[in-house]
């Protein structure tokens, strides 16, 4: 249960990071003032973020079934976004690496959860 | 909040055995009572709860006085040493019944406020200009802008929760708030509506013929089989020892959204199944069940429940930052008057004082409630009500002090007191209970919920102290700004730069009673 929860939360966090990097203002926050993402990178980030959030829904549904899982997915996404907002405010330079780390954690814990 | 029971929590016992233990005690102590009630231990309440209604006084209507007892589920011994407390139940009832008021009044007031909340949430979404652009944006240290950022971030990120909990809270009491439809359709006979909409087992009048109670174990077995192994939650026995005895067994909650629970009724003498309910419910009843279920969140445990808690905190932050934002904005509007040595408007002063009393005072009230739970003598008369009084006395004093002197200093004092009281709770547990963090966490003996609560009080307490400390830093920063005369300071609205002398006046006024900007 815990491994599944961690999978969902870190995946949601990683996906929000991707979506956020795909937005001009937040990109400038984490990469330096005045910088904007390339059009191609922007699209990739947004696509990855969207897919990640859909996967989060899938993780929650697998954990708790369709009805409860859908509700829990919304909660997981809220928690992930709140965490990201805090990091983006107080340590914007670490946003990208933390997002990558979270995604890696989600892959690892998903292995733990699915194989255990 | 009953430390005496924390050890019992670690023993497990089958529900059949627990029920049989309870029946044994009940038939000794409550023979002749019209109704027995047994709640099987679960992970939230480790003790075996049981009770009975006394026969109603002659001439009185309804059920007689309810006697309540807690037993050790494994042995059936009384846990009489458990302290008398309303525990979390008080906090739970407070949020929809209020206190010191007739329940109906309380519920109407809460419904009135919930409706305002719903309107505020929806209009907030409409007036919010950049929902997606500002999705993750929080810019601290920028005065009014920061409060708006904080308010909209916690509001938007947890928006599904805020909307859901407000709306379903209203739905929960909808038959009280909007009785019109039922009154018209059922010609004023609300009972007929409830009987049709929420079918429950009917209980017969006693036959006044003595008859022994059938053994419950087979009924529990039958119920479990019917529920595909679902566990028993509550057993109610009507007219025990009478020829018209009936036994209602309710199922423990399952992993599903709807709050509707399955139940079965048996004949108390022959042990035959009379009827089952909750197996299939109508679409309308199911919809309402889902809304209630979403609000109650009984369908999940552990980490997912923590998400509800987190979103609840976000809700608290949304309301608090909104109230502060209003005060900060009004204060900026009145900055010119203040700069000329004028006074704050009465409304703003009232709101600023209320902000201190509610936002910083409420944690003190909660901490006082928990302190009272540990410190009031265990055997004292009306102990539960005394705990509740501590809550309201602490809050009342905080509200009053804030009205007398709504200053930044007051914020610091209140946050400091609240923080210290919360941090010292786990310490207090070491001296007053046997289930402090040393046992529950470091020796790993649980219960984990108790360890979790203690850890949270630490986190919350430190957060409050940090807020107090932050205000102190702010104050120092403002003072140094006052001391440097040559630096032009931009006025709050950012239109015309004002001289340092005038702004020094303003910042000093700010110090008298400003929010952390």
Q: Has residue B170 been placed in a domain?
A: yes
* B311 min Cα distance to partner chain A (Å): 7
Closest residue to B161, CB basis, from A78, A85, A89: A78
pLDDT value, residue B474: 81
Is B290 found in the same domain as B154?
yes
Contacts of A84 in chain B (CB under 8 A): 136
User: What's the domain range around B155?
Assistant: 102-199+282-333
Q: Please indicate whether residue B206 or residue A95 has the higher confidence score (pLDDT).
A: A95
Instruction: Test A2 with B303 for CB contact under 8 angstroms.
Output: yes
Total number of domains in chain B: 3
pLDDT value, residue A71: 93
Q: Has residue B500 been placed in a domain?
A: no
Contacts of A75 in chain B (CB under 8 A): 161, 304, 307-308, 310-311
Instruction: Test A72 with B300 for CB contact under 8 angstroms.
Output: yes
Instruction: Test B307 with A25 for CB contact under 8 angstroms.
Output: no
Q: Has residue B54 been placed in a domain?
A: yes
pLDDT value, residue B98: 93
Q: What's the count of helices (H) and strands (E) in chain A, helices before strands?
A: 5, 0
- Tell whether the model's pLDDT for residue B502 goes beyond 70: no
Q: What is the tens place of the pLDDT at every residue in A42-79?
A: 999 999 999 999 999 999 999 888 989 999 999 999 99
- Tell whether the model's pLDDT for residue B61 goes beyond 90: no
Instruction: Test B256 with A68 for CB contact under 8 angstroms.
Output: yes
Contacts of A5 in chain B (CB under 8 A): 302-304
B301: nearest CA partner in chain A = A1
A64: nearest CA partner in chain B = B255
Q: Has residue B51 been placed in a domain?
A: yes
**What mean pLDDT is predicted for residues B450-473?**
93
- Tell whether the model's pLDDT for residue B117 goes beyond 60: yes
* A40 min Cα distance to partner chain B (Å): 20
Instruction: Test B133 with A23 for CB contact under 8 angstroms.
Output: yes
| Confidence at B454, pLDDT banded by 50, 70, 90 | very high
Contacts of B161 in chain A (CB under 8 A): 74-75, 78
Q: What is the pTM of this model?
A: 0.84
- Tell whether the model's pLDDT for residue B497 goes beyond 50: no
**Among B240, B300, B297, CA closest to B33:** B240
| Confidence at B498, pLDDT banded by 50, 70, 90 | very low
| Confidence at B191, pLDDT banded by 50, 70, 90 | confident
Last residue of a domain, one of B472, B487, B505: B472
Q: What is the tens place of the pLDDT at every residue in B86-116?
A: 888 899 999 999 999 999 999 999 999 999 9
Q: Has residue B512 been placed in a domain?
A: no
Q: Has residue B33 been placed in a domain?
A: yes
- Tell whether the model's pLDDT for residue B328 goes beyond 80: yes
- Tell whether the model's pLDDT for residue B83 goes beyond 60: yes
pLDDT value, residue B506: 39
pLDDT value, residue B441: 81
Is B438 found in the same domain as B413?
yes
A8: nearest CA partner in chain B = B304
Contacts of B137 in chain A (CB under 8 A): 25-26, 85, 88
Is B369 found in the same domain as B459?
yes
**What mean pLDDT is predicted for residues A7-24?**
94
Q: Determine whether B319 is exposed, middle or buried from the number of CB atoms within 10 Å of its CB (0-12, 13-18, 19+).
A: middle
* A44 min Cα distance to partner chain B (Å): 18
* A96 min Cα distance to partner chain B (Å): 14
Is B30 found in the same domain as B11?
yes
Is B74 found in the same domain as B124?
no
Instruction: Test A82 with B255 for CB contact under 8 angstroms.
Output: no
**What mean pLDDT is predicted for residues B387-405?**
96
Instruction: Test B310 with A2 for CB contact under 8 angstroms.
Output: no
Is B189 found in the same domain as B221?
no
Instruction: Test B303 with A5 for CB contact under 8 angstroms.
Output: yes
**What mean pLDDT is predicted for residues B479-492?**
52
Is B115 found in the same domain as B57?
no
Task: Tell me how far apart the alpha carbons of residues B35 and B361 are, in angstroms, rounded to a whole number.
Answer: 44
Residues on B contacting A at a C-beta cutoff of 8 Å: 132-133, 135-140, 153-154, 157-158, 160-161, 255-257, 290, 294, 299-300, 302-304, 307-308, 310-311, 314
A17: nearest CA partner in chain B = B136
**What mean pLDDT is predicted for residues A31-52?**
89
Rg (CA), chain B: 28
Instruction: Test B136 with A78 for CB contact under 8 angstroms.
Output: no
Is B309 found in the same domain as B232?
no
- Tell whether the model's pLDDT for residue B486 goes beyond 50: no
Instruction: Test B302 with A78 for CB contact under 8 angstroms.
Output: no
For residue B269, is it left (φ>0), alpha (ψ between -120 and 50) or beta? alpha
Query: What is the average pLDDT value for chain A, to the nearest integer?
Result: 92
pLDDT value, residue B7: 66
Q: Please indicate whether residue B210 or residue B62 has the higher confidence score (pLDDT).
A: B210
**What mean pLDDT is predicted for residues B375-402?**
93
CB under 8 Å to B171, separation ≥6 — which residues? B288, B291, B292, B295
- Tell whether the model's pLDDT for residue B318 goes beyond 90: yes
Is B311 found in the same domain as B165?
yes
Is B286 found in the same domain as B383?
no
* A46 min Cα distance to partner chain B (Å): 13
Residues on A contacting B at a C-beta cutoff of 8 Å: 1-2, 5, 16, 20, 23, 25-26, 64-65, 67-68, 71-72, 74-76, 78-79, 81-82, 84-86, 88-89
Q: Are strands B489-490 and B273-277 parallel, antiparallel or unpaired?
A: unpaired
ipTM above 0.85, yes or no: yes
CB B15 within 8 Å of CB B31: no
Report the SS3 class of residue B264: strand
| Confidence at B130, pLDDT banded by 50, 70, 90 | confident
B307: nearest CA partner in chain A = A75
Crossing angle of helices B408-432/B448-483, nearest 10°?
Answer: 150
Q: Has residue B502 been placed in a domain?
A: no
Q: Are strands B66-71 and B232-238 parallel, antiparallel or unpaired?
A: unpaired
Mutating which of A46, A77, A89, A98 best tests the B interface, going by the most B Cβ atoms within 10 A? Answer: A89
Q: Has residue B501 been placed in a domain?
A: no
DSSP per-residue string spanning A24-50: HHHHHHHH-TT----HHHHHHHHHHHH
pLDDT value, residue A25: 83
Chains A, B: CB contacts within 8 A come to 76
Task: Tell me how far apart the alpha carbons of residues B289 and B286 are, in angstroms, rounded to a whole number.
Answer: 5
Q: What is the tens place of the pLDDT at every residue in B223-265?
A: 889 988 888 889 999 888 888 888 999 988 777 888 888 888 8
pLDDT value, residue A51: 96
**What mean pLDDT is predicted for residues B415-433?**
93
Is B347 found in the same domain as B329?
no
Instruction: Test B300 with A64 for CB contact under 8 angstroms.
Output: yes
Count CB atoms within 10 A of the CB of residue B12: 10
* A79 min Cα distance to partner chain B (Å): 7
Half-sphere exposure of B367 (CA within 13 A, CB side): 26
Task: Tell me how far apart the alpha carbons of residues A40 and B239 are, in angstroms, rounded to a whole number.
Answer: 75
Rg (CA), chain A: 14
Query: What is the average pLDDT value for chain B, to the nearest integer?
Result: 84
Is B287 found in the same domain as B391?
no
């Amino acid at each position: 249960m815990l491994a599944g929860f961690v999978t969902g939360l870190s995946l949601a966090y990683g996906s929000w990071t991707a979506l956020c990097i795909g937005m001009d203002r937040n990109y400038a926050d984490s990469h330096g003032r005045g910088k904007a993402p390339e059009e191609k990178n922007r699209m990739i980030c947004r696509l990855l973020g969207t897919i990640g959030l859909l996967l989060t829904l899938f993780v929650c549904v697998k954990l708790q079934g369709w009805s409860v899982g859908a509700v829990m997915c919304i909660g997981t996404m809220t928690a992930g976004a709140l965490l990201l907002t805090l990091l983006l405010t107080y340590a914007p330079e670490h946003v990208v690496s933390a997002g990558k780390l979270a995604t890696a954690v989600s892959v690892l814990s998903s292995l733990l959860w699915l194989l255990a | 909040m009953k430390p005496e029971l924390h050890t019992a929590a670690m023993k497990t016992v089958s529900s059949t055995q627990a029920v049989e233990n309870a029946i044994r005690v009940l038939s000794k102590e409550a023979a002749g009572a019209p109704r027995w009630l047994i709640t099987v231990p679960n992970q939230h309440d480790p003790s075996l709860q049981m009770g009975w209604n006394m026969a109603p006084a002659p001439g009185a209507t309804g059920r007689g006085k309810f006697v309540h007892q807690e037993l050790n589920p494994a042995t059936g011994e009384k846990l009489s040493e458990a302290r008398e407390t309303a525990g979390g139940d008080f906090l739970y009832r407070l949020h929809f019944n209020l206190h010191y008021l007739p329940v109906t009044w309380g519920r109407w007031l809460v419904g009135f406020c919930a409706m305002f909340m719903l309107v505020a949430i929806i209009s907030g979404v409409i007036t919010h200009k950049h929902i997606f652009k500002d999705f993750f944006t929080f810019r601290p240290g920028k005065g009014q802008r920061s409060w708006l950022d904080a308010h909209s971030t916690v509001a938007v990120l947890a928006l599904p929760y805020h909307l859901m909990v407000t709306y379903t809270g209203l739905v929960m009491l909808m038959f009280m708030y909007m009785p019109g439809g039922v009154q018209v359709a059922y010609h004023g006979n609300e009972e007929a509506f409830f009987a049709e909409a929420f079918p429950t087992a009917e209980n017969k009048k006693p036959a006044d013929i003595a008859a022994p109670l059938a053994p419950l174990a087979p009924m529990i077995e039958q119920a479990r089989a019917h529920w595909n192994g679902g566990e028993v939650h509550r057993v109610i026995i009507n007219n025990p020892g009478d020829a018209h005895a009936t036994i209602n067994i309710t199922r423990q909650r399952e992993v599903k959204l709807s709050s509707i629970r399955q139940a079965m009724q048996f004949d108390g003498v022959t042990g035959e199944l009379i009827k089952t309910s909750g197996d299939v419910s109508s679409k309308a009843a199911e919809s309402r069940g889902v809304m209630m279920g979403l609000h109650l969140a009984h369908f999940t445990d552990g980490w997912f429940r923590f998400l509800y808690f987190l979103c609840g905190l976000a809700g608290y932050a949304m309301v608090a930052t909104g109230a502060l934002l209003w005060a900060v904005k009004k204060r900026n509007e009145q900055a010119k008057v203040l700069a000329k040595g004028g006074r704050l408007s009465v409304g703003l002063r009232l709101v600023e004082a209320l902000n201190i009393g509610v936002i910083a005072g409420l944690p003190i009230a909660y901490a006082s409630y928990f302190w009272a739970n540990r410190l009031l003598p265990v055997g004292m008369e009306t102990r539960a009500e005394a705990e509740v009084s501590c809550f309201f006395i602490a809050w009342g004093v905080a509200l009053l002090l804030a009205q007398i002197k709504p200053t930044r200093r007051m914020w610091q004092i209140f946050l400091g007191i609240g923080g210290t009281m919360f941090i010292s709770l786990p310490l207090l547990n070491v001296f007053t209970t046997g289930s402090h963090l040393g046992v529950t966490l470091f020796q790993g003996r649980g219960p984990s919920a108790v360890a979790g609560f203690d850890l949270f009080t630490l986190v919350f307490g430190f957060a409050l102290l940090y807020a107090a400390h932050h205000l102190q830093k702010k104050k120092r920063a403002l003072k140094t700004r006052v001391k440097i005369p040559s630096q032009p300071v931009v006025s709050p609205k950012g239109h015309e730069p004002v001289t340092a002398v005038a702004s020094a006046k303003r910042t000093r006024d700010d110090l008298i009673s400003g929010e952390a900007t």
